[in-house]
Amino acid sequence: MTGTVERTVTGVRTAFDAERVRADFPLLGRSMRGKALVYLDNAATSQKPRHVIDAIHRYYETLNANVHRGVYQLSEEATAAYEWGRAMIARYLHAPSPAEVVFVRGTTEGINLVANSLGRQRVGPGDEVLISAMEHHSNIVPWQLLCEEKGARLRVLPMNDRGELLVEELPAFLSPRTRLVSVVHVSNSLGTINPVKEIVAQAHARGIPVLLDGAQAVPHGPVDVQDLDCDFYAVSGHKMFGPTGVGALFGKRALLEAMPPWQGGGEMIRSVTFEKTLFAPLPMKFEAGTPNIEGAVGLGAAVDFLHQLDWRAVAVHEADLLAYATERIQSVAGLRLVGTAARKAPVVSFVMDGVHPHDIGTILDQEGIAIRTGHHCTQPVMDFFGVPATARASFALYNTRDDVDALVTALRQVRKVFA
Amino acid sequence: MADLRELYQQVILDHNRAPRNFKELPDANRTASGDNPLCGDRITLWVKVSGDRIEDLGFQGSGCAISQASASLMTTVVKGKTVEEAERLFQHFHGMVTGVEEGNRDNLGKLFAFAGVKEFPARVKCANLPWHTLHAALLQQDRPASTE
């Protein structure tokens, strides 16, 4: 059956039925320009399963009230739903406790929280913050702002021309002045899966905390922050089949407790007088104002959906998609891949001789195929590879080999138009 | 496919492949840059104006076929025109690609090739960028033009 992949992994026969999973995503059934929609922009945002849509719907029809405030039952139920969402994402990240998971708007806000709180507390003139050459702008700009304010220096761990970090050079980039390392777990524009556990270990050997940008990792399976031993891990709900406007920041308890709040307001206080405010315990200390309650509920539902999947089978399916796409796409004349790391998530970035990515995007759109074209908020990566932009097909668990075939056929069409 | 041929007309593909006046103009007395940072299209335009007439112009840039062909065609069309005539062409061109006015061959000539752009809203800014840049050059504006 199309979309079903069977492989033997470590002796266990697993099967993943992508067609069945597709049926859970209502939007994937719509047509686009008279053709079946082929959605290959999952690294930008994922589609939502009915489970998530229904949970948000149900929340507003049966549970809506402000959280952590009312003494009435409805508020208690809303609070329980909100905290259930926290417990679910905490479980998905294998955080030791939900108290170490702060709700934020998304990965960007999670990184900004750490930069503004721990960053301002610990980074001073002459200190250093280390990032990598393949960061999304959201893991560059907050540190630039901090370094500018503090007179600190932003350093960048380089990569090779396959799009792999030069981890062997890491010791040279970790100095006695390094106050924090912040690197991406999986690159959004290259697909590279970075050896983050090793990076964390090396930084910890020098007493330096590490933040991981996990936005592109969590759509491809649960993460174990205790195994990685990272100090912070930031994710976005909408990239992992949940709603937009909600995300989570895991932080180790001792660090979060020592960090000052970064936004003040309701919800994050224990008591307020005009002389002094006592802050709420974790995680509320970092959640000023009425939170995105429907977002938390939707994210919880997304994790609930993800927990029902056989992740070993998903991994086999996604590896097959990546291998198949990588091979098929290179059969198109004049096409060059950007990002060819040995370990990759199912993301294929490419350029085509004589055709700008935006023209590729427009022509593919005529065939009902949605891909991303542009710099993917990683301009330094584009500069490194000497291209102004790339076209990027990014796959999720509901994509199939048929989607790859449609992409390749449309890319041949592009060649024909620009012949 | 019909829509695509409408957008990627032969004349557009030809100007993209072999852009005309793709050069820096040493004796230019007006210059401006335009870029759309989100999509990465960029052009620099050099214009030599004598009196009220555009005597010569050249451009350099990189970007999608629509932006580069638009720049190339524009340079061939406005060369020799008065500043006022060029601005009037800009108005007609802008009106046509945004769908505000029905374009016609009489007042737009070769530029009518861009009529298909109005069916592709995301690409309108690509077609317009060179014209906004020309406008900025003629006005001697300091900041870069952008259509985003």
A100-153 pLDDT, tens per residue?
Answer: 999 999 999 999 999 999 999 999 999 999 999 999 999 999 999 999 999 999
Of A342, A345, A341, give the one whose Cα is nearest residue A314.
A345
Largest separation between any pair of C-alpha atoms in chain B: 46
HEC string of B107-141 equals HHHHHHHHHHHHHCHHHHHHHHHHHHHHHHHHHCC
pLDDT at A321 over 90: yes
Residue-wise pLDDT for A387-407, tens only, equals: 989 999 999 999 999 999 999
Question: Chain A residues within 8 A (CB-CB) of chain B?
Answer: 354-359, 362-363, 366, 373-375, 382, 388-389, 413, 417-418
Which DSSP category does B145 fall into?
A: B
Residue A207, sorted as left (phi over 0), alpha (psi -120 to 50) or beta, turns out to be left
Say whether residue B18 is in contact with chain A using an 8 A CB cutoff.
no
Q: Are the beta carbons of A94 and A226 closer than 8 angstroms?
A: yes
Question: What dotted CATH number matches A53-307?
Answer: 3.40.640.10
Which DSSP category does B142 fall into?
A: S
Chain B: closest CA distance from residue A367 (Å): 9
Q: What is the rounded average pLDDT of the residues A337-355? A: 97
What chain B residue is nearest to A374 in terms of C-alpha separation? B39
Say whether residue B17 is in contact with chain A using an 8 A CB cutoff.
yes
Nearest residue, CB atoms, B40 vs list A375, A413, A418: A375
Q: Which pLDDT score, from 0 to 100, does residue B142 have? A: 59
What chain B residue is nearest to A410 in terms of C-alpha separation? B1
- What is the overall mean pLDDT for chain A? 94
Q: What is the rounded average pLDDT of the residues A73-90? A: 97
Confidence of residue B143 (pLDDT cuts 50, 70, 90): low
Q: Which pLDDT score, from 0 to 100, does residue A380 have? A: 94
Cβ-Cβ contacts under 8 Å for A350 (sequence gap 6 or more): A329, A335, A336, A337, A338, A390, A391, A392
Nearest residue, CB atoms, A362 vs list B5, B17, B123: B123
* Residues on chain B touching A359 (C-beta within 8 angstroms): 8, 64-66
Q: What is the rounded average pLDDT of the residues A27-54? A: 97
Q: Are the beta carbons of B125 and B148 closer than 8 angstroms?
A: yes
Provide the whole-model pTM: 0.93
Mutation for A interface: B64, B68, B147, most A CBs within 10 A: B64
Residue-wise pLDDT for A92-101, tens only, equals: 999 999 999 9
Nearest residue, CB atoms, B64 vs list A359, A382, A417: A359
Chain B: closest CA distance from residue A363 (Å): 7
Cα angle value A334/A340/A343 (rounded, 5°)? 155
> What ipTM, to 2 d.p.?
0.89
Which DSSP category does B26 fall into?
A: T
Q: Are the beta carbons of A206 and A173 closer than 8 angstroms?
A: no
Residue-wise pLDDT for B90-136, tens only, equals: 999 999 999 998 888 888 999 999 999 999 999 999 999 999 999 99
pLDDT at A252 over 70: yes
* Residues on chain A touching B66 (C-beta within 8 angstroms): 358-359
CATH 3.40.640.10 boundaries in chain A = 53-307
Q: Which of A309, A370, A377, A387 does the annotation list as catalytic?
A: A377
CATH 3.90.1150.10 boundaries in chain A = 4-32+310-417
What chain B residue is nearest to A414 in terms of C-alpha separation? B4
Confidence of residue B141 (pLDDT cuts 50, 70, 90): low
**Known active-site residue A377:** yes
Which DSSP category does B9 fall into?
A: -
Say whether residue B7 is in contact with chain A using an 8 A CB cutoff.
yes
Q: Are the beta carbons of A8 and A361 closer than 8 angstroms?
A: no
pLDDT at A363 over 80: yes
pLDDT at A6 over 80: no
pLDDT at A304 over 70: yes
Architecture, CATH, for domain A4-32+310-417: Alpha-Beta Complex (3.90)
pLDDT at A11 over 80: no
Measured CA to CA, the distance from residue B98 to residue A364 in angstroms comes to 22
CA atoms within 13 A on the CB side of A137: 7
Say whether residue B39 is in contact with chain A using an 8 A CB cutoff.
yes
Residue-wise pLDDT for A145-175, tens only, equals: 999 999 999 999 999 999 999 999 999 999 9
pLDDT at A311 over 60: yes
* Residues on chain A touching B7 (C-beta within 8 angstroms): 362
Which structural domains are found in chain B, ordered by start?
A: 2-139 (3.90.1010.10)
Q: Which pLDDT score, from 0 to 100, does residue A9 have? A: 42
Q: Which pLDDT score, from 0 to 100, does residue B2 have? A: 57
CB contact under 8 A, A359 and B39: no
Measured CA to CA, the distance from residue A376 to residue A360 in angstroms comes to 15
